[in-house]
Amino acid sequence: MKVGLLTGGGDCPGLNAVIRAVVQRIHNEGGSCIGLLEGWRGLVKGASMPLDVHETDGIIARGGTILGSSRTNPFKNPDTDVPAVKANFASMGLDALVAIGGDDTLGVAYRLHRDHGMPMVGVPKTIDNDLMVTDFTFGFDTAINIVVEAVDRLRTTTESHRRVMVVETMGRHAGWIACFSGIATAADYILVPEVPIDVDHVVEVLKRRRAEGKNYGIVLVSEGAEFPDQGSVTIEAETDAFGHVRLGGIGNALAKMIEDRTGYETRSVVLGHLQRGGPPSAYDRVLATRLGLAAAELVVKQRFGTMVALSGTKIIETTLAEGVAATKKLDMEYYRQAQTFFR
């Protein structure tokens, strides 16, 4: 048995733990693994590296991915790239492929399995925690802890200068990071893509807090949060290979509005890729390892067209079709509880 692995889309802490687990499990079965470099680009270009137990055993603590990543989409150029994917898969002598990624990466795996019969198994990955069928994804816990640490540090300078600080987090379509981080840092207001921004209410809450004696403010906003009747705030209009625009700027726009309406000195901070970087938390190392072992087990059993997921505390098998069917929005129970503090 010869198994390929790739990591696609945005990197996140825990990817290397998945790689380590798959390699170990397949090795135990007498098989071998190779890594496709830079996501689907590696299979399009035929770029790979060997993966063995000795060299991957110590990578569990490393952030990012030793295989590299990209936002390459073979179906953007289907007449050339899809045949290349199939040809390179065959020439490498692969029996299966474990695709580790978010909805875009897993969507490609699903189409290659459905339309071309390629043996695919998926592992869900996203710091945004917005993938269906899995309760939580590895990388999310690390990301929110990074945001919490950043806000804790920003709080002291914000309080010293009697400012309001608007912190922009990742979260294109779902507000999991902003909501969890906002609760954990006692933010004065949390803004998420699921709820249109009510600037009047944000200002009202900040003014009330100031009148009650709190001389600074912390506002957390997801990059995908929107003002009513407006689209997302973007850095540029161009889209990537999967049709996504590059979000960014909502924090700056909101900070200006707050300062104009309150007179309070207001600054914004965009945490950006800090949320993706560094070593994974212990929770993410454990979750990523469990998902990797379960994915390898599906390969051994030849359960293709499937993916692994977390349900409660159990690792389950589901289908790639279910996993990429829709975006998982924020569970609004969390947001309603957070609203207790900024009604």
SS3 call for 247: strand
d(CA 3, CA 26): 8
- Helices and strands counted in the chain (H then E): 12, 13
The span from the CA of 139 to the CA of 302, in Å, is: 27
CA separation for the pair 97, 305 (Å, rounded)? 10
β-strands 48-51, 96-101 pairing? unpaired
Please provide the DSSP assignment of 294-329 as one string. HHHHHHHTT-TTEEEEEETTEEEEEEHHHHTSSB--
DSSP calls for 99-145: EEESHHHHHHHHHHHHHH---EEEEE--TT--BTT-S--TTHHHHHH
- Residue 95 is among the residues annotated as catalytic for this protein: no
Look-up: residue for tokens 């300062």? Answer: 259
16 Cβ contact list (under 8 Å, min separation 6): 56, 59, 60, 62, 63, 64, 65, 66
- Which of 81, 104, 128, 188 is catalytic? The answer is 128
Q: List the end-to-end C-alpha distance of the chain, in Å, as a whole number.
A: 58
For β-strands 234-239 and 306-311, DSSP reports them as unpaired
Q: Quote the CA–CA distance of 132 and 229 in Å, as a whole number.
A: 27
Beta carbons of 38 and 130 less than 8 angstroms apart? no
For the chain, give the number of residues: 343
- Contact between 123 and 307 under an 8 Å Cβ cutoff? The reply is yes
For the annotated catalytic residues, the residue numbers are 128
